[in-house]
Amino acid sequence: MKKMSITIKAAIIGSIIAGIFVVLGILLTYKLQTPTANSSPETNDREKAKRIILNYFDYDRDKIEIEKIIWFDFVSKGSNLEFYAVYRNDWRDFIDVFTLRQGFPENLYHRLGKGEGLDANHVTINNKTYFIATSNAGSGSYLTVTLYKYDGIGKPKIAYEDDALFQGKLFVFHNHVYLSGNNQRYELQYGKNSFKRVKYRQRLLYEYGSGSHILAYNIKKGEFQITYDGIPIKFTKDEEDKYSSISPIALGFNEQIVVDDNLVDSLPSQIRLMGSDIDVFSYQPGFFGSLKPKHKGKVSLDVSYNYSTWYHIKVVINN
């Protein structure tokens, strides 16, 4: 019985650690990440792809600026015979996808930007590869996302479309697609031969020794609560209805604070986090934003909830 109990505990701990690893990986991603496909030495060549683009469109080599070139297996057959490129030519932005499966370059996708920011990525879900094209446009940086599938015949077909995500961003991690926008977080889930955007409701868990601390907001019995690494921060209230932490939270100089504002009953926009010493922290945007210290010493953070109540958090940044 004792041996069985130990085995069960080990299994539970292993599952928790695995889940933490996946979630924390998302946090550390603050811009679009590209999953690496299996390399094909004969095709995994940036210069070769650039030559194909130059020759196909008869571009001037001196006017083209390559931002990204990725070789991948668009037809999911085990060989990287396609590539996509994000580049600028003569002050215009482009996305192109080429295949070499017929022994010569064939253009599968061509897009000219019209004042919006363009990007591209790919993901493999259920052993099938999808190409992702994104654009951000307008003063609100509205995100448009399109996933394409390809069977090696004709042109790629649209598998999923999403648009008008206010201040939207896309993140790809461990072959999962995540979206943020409209003050919400989402995940693209695949089922019944189609994609569906669903709200991402998971909360973050602290892993000791990971170098990432979790500052989380919670609503408990109608009351706003702030925790640090899962432990509620205790506050005292002054005459002006401002709250100040009784004890400081500790942070290593080479560590970071990841902010979990993924509340179900309250929008993240209702919460504002500010550093009283702006030059002490650098903010890293991402699916979950994070704070990295610039200096050591005693500093503070201020959190505003519902535009009315302020929480003053003391921070000690050690070696």
Question: Pairing relation of β-strands 290-293 and 117-125?
Answer: unpaired
As given in the structure block, the two tokens for residue 137 are 């446009």
What gap in Å lies between CA 300 and CA 274, rounded to an integer? 9
CA distances from 77 to 74, 99, 195 (A): 8, 13, 22
Torsion of CA 112, 96, 147, 126, to 10 degrees: -170
For residue 217, being part of any structural domain is answered with yes
pLDDT at residue 26, as a whole number: 39
pLDDT at residue 217, as a whole number: 93
181 and 258 inside one domain = no
Q: Which amino acid is it at 96?
A: D
Give 32-46 as a DSSP string.
---PPPPP-TTT--H
Residue 222 is given by DSSP the state T
Domain total for the chain? Answer: 2
303 and 220 inside one domain = yes
pLDDT at residue 15, as a whole number: 47
For residue 23, being part of any structural domain is answered with no
Side-chain half-sphere CA neighbours of 185 within 13 A: 20
For residue 206, being part of any structural domain is answered with no
Q: What is the pLDDT of residues 216-260, one digit of tens each?
A: 999 888 889 999 999 999 999 987 778 999 999 999 999 999 999
What gap in Å lies between CA 73 and CA 209, rounded to an integer? 37
Contacts of 189 (CB under 8 A, 6+ apart): 195, 196, 197, 198
The sign of the CA dihedral 62, 68, 74, 79 is positive
Residue by residue, pLDDT tens for the chain (319 residues) are: 444 444 444 444 444 444 444 344 434 333 333 333 333 444 459 999 999 999 999 999 999 999 999 999 999 999 999 999 999 998 899 999 999 999 999 999 999 998 889 999 999 999 999 999 999 998 878 999 999 999 999 999 999 999 889 999 999 998 999 999 988 899 999 998 899 999 999 999 999 889 999 999 998 888 899 999 999 999 999 877 789 999 999 999 999 999 998 886 655 567 788 765 557 888 888 899 999 999 899 998 999 888 788 999 999 999 8
Give 104-160 as a DSSP string.
S-EEEEEEE-SSSEEEEEEEEETTEEEEEEEEEETTTTEEEEEEEE--SSSS-EEEE
Range of the domain at 46: 30-199
Contacts of 205 (CB under 8 A, 6+ apart): 16, 19, 20, 23, 214, 230
63 and 34 inside one domain = yes
194 and 218 inside one domain = no
Domain boundary among 199, 225, 251: 199
For residue 86, being part of any structural domain is answered with yes
The sign of the CA dihedral 257, 121, 200, 18 is negative
For residue 87, being part of any structural domain is answered with yes
pLDDT at residue 252, as a whole number: 95
91 and 193 inside one domain = yes
The CATH number of the domain where 298 resides is what?
A: 2.60.40
